[in-house]
Chains A and B, each alone.
Chain A
Amino acid sequence: MSEVTTLDLKRVEAEATDKTTFGFWVYLMTDCVLFASLFAVYAVLHGNTFGGPGGRELFKLPYVLVETIVLLTSSFTMGLAMLALQKRDKQAVVGWLLVTFVLGGVFLGMELSEFHAMVTEGNSWRRSGFLSSYFTLVGTHGLHITVGLIWMAVVGIFTLKKGLTDTVRKRLTLLSLFWHFLDVVWIFIFTVVYLLGSLNI
């Protein structure tokens, strides 16, 4: 009898987790629509350089490639953290989270130094419509990365202090979804903004 009730309880809990994950997934998809509108703005304004430099003059592709590989690797290490979570290996989870955090930090640092270099050269968002849309699109992604890093630090500390409880596991799952999702958005920024922007057509 008690066996049955615990089983039911577990099932109810599992369904609740399922609902949380689904709700978060809906948030991610609506965030995608936000990014889509920023991509639309960029697509419309990318030619309006107002006599200023365009993408071909501004973007340093090798630098951006390194940035991209760093972010892709951080997505992979987040996946490894999820594998460790599946094995209930707390040390490995925290370890891989730390690696992901460092890689994410490196990515953010590289992006900020890129922005800094552009702004000090006089090519800030005030220079042209192209640069406004560029900074809005890439900056919004950077803001998401910043939030992700803060979240990762908080969940990491929770994992260390409380162990892999149900709540912590749920939060880790959501965080990994968020992090992989940011990778997906970056792929499109890399292709649309940097690669297509560097073509001379």
Chain B
Amino acid sequence: MSAVVSEHDELHLSYGKYITGFLLSILSTVAAYLLVTRGTSTTHVTEILLACLAAVQFIVQLVFFLHVGEERKPRWRQLILLLMIFFAVVVVLGSVWIMYNLNYRMSPQQMNQYMQNQTNSGL
């Protein structure tokens, strides 16, 4: 009977998982830190490596601390997590893209050119 409750109530937790998660997250944090402070040349490779380390940390937190993936079917939590990730990516990348584009198209030079064209055409 208690098995029924514990199965729903709490997932089966173990020390090993938490300790592994903790060590992995500390390691990837320190690795990312050293990459920035000790890195001799900062290129776009550094940025990509940092993004990868952040992704590793994200997955470690999700799997070892938030127990994503241990849920039984139907996996509603996982579904809504994926939906959130999709929204987040669209919001962040979309904003950056559109604002970059706007800056580019509305740079002072372009605006001057535009106004000059308007004046020349008699407006």
Task: Using CB atoms and an 8 Å cutoff, list the residues of chain A in contact with chain B.
Answer: 6-7, 10-11, 13-15, 17-18, 22, 25-26, 29-30, 32-33, 35-37, 39-41, 43-44, 61, 65, 68-69, 72-73, 75-76, 79-80, 82-83, 85-86, 169, 173, 177, 180-181, 183-184, 187-188, 190-192, 195-196, 198-201
Contact assessment for B18 and A40 in the assembled complex, using a CB-CB cutoff below 8 Å: no
Contact assessment for B58 and A39 in the assembled complex, using a CB-CB cutoff below 8 Å: no
B36 and A195 contact, CB distance less than 8 A: yes
Extra inter-chain contacts (17) besides given A44-B99, A195-B32, CB under 8 Å: A13-B5, A14-B9, A15-B8, A32-B84, A36-B92, A40-B91, A68-B29, A75-B25, A86-B13, A169-B10, A173-B9, A184-B66, A187-B54, A188-B58, A191-B51, A199-B46, A201-B42
The interface residues of chain A lying within 8 Å CB-to-CB of B77 are 22, 25
Q: Is the CB of B15 within 8 A of A83?
A: yes
17 contacts between A and B (CB under 8 A): A13-B5, A14-B4, A14-B5, A22-B76, A25-B80, A29-B84, A40-B95, A72-B26, A73-B22, A83-B13, A173-B9, A177-B66, A180-B61, A191-B53, A195-B32, A201-B42, A201-B43
Q: A15-B8, A17-B9, A86-B10 are in contact. Are A198 and B99 (CB under 8 A)?
A: no
Let me know if B10 and A195 touch, CB within 8 A: no
Residues of chain A with a CB closer than 8 A to B43's CB: 201
A31 CA / B50 CA spacing, docked (Å): 24
B115 at the interface (CB under 8 A from A): no
**Complex interface: chain A residues within 8 A of B81 (CB):** 29
Total number of residue pairs linking A and B with CB closer than 8 Å: 141
- A181–B66 Cα gap in the complex (Å)? 8
User: Closest CB of chain B to A32's CB: distance in Å?
Assistant: 5
B25-42 Cβ-contact flags toward A at 8 Å (1 or 0): 110011011011100001
How distant is the Cα of A62 from the Cα of B92 in the complex, in angstroms? 28
Contacts of B88 in A (CB 8 A): 32-33, 35-36, 39
| Residue among B1, B10, B51, B96 with max Cβ neighbours from chain A (10 Å) | B10
Is B65 an interface residue when CB atoms closer than 8 A count as contact? yes
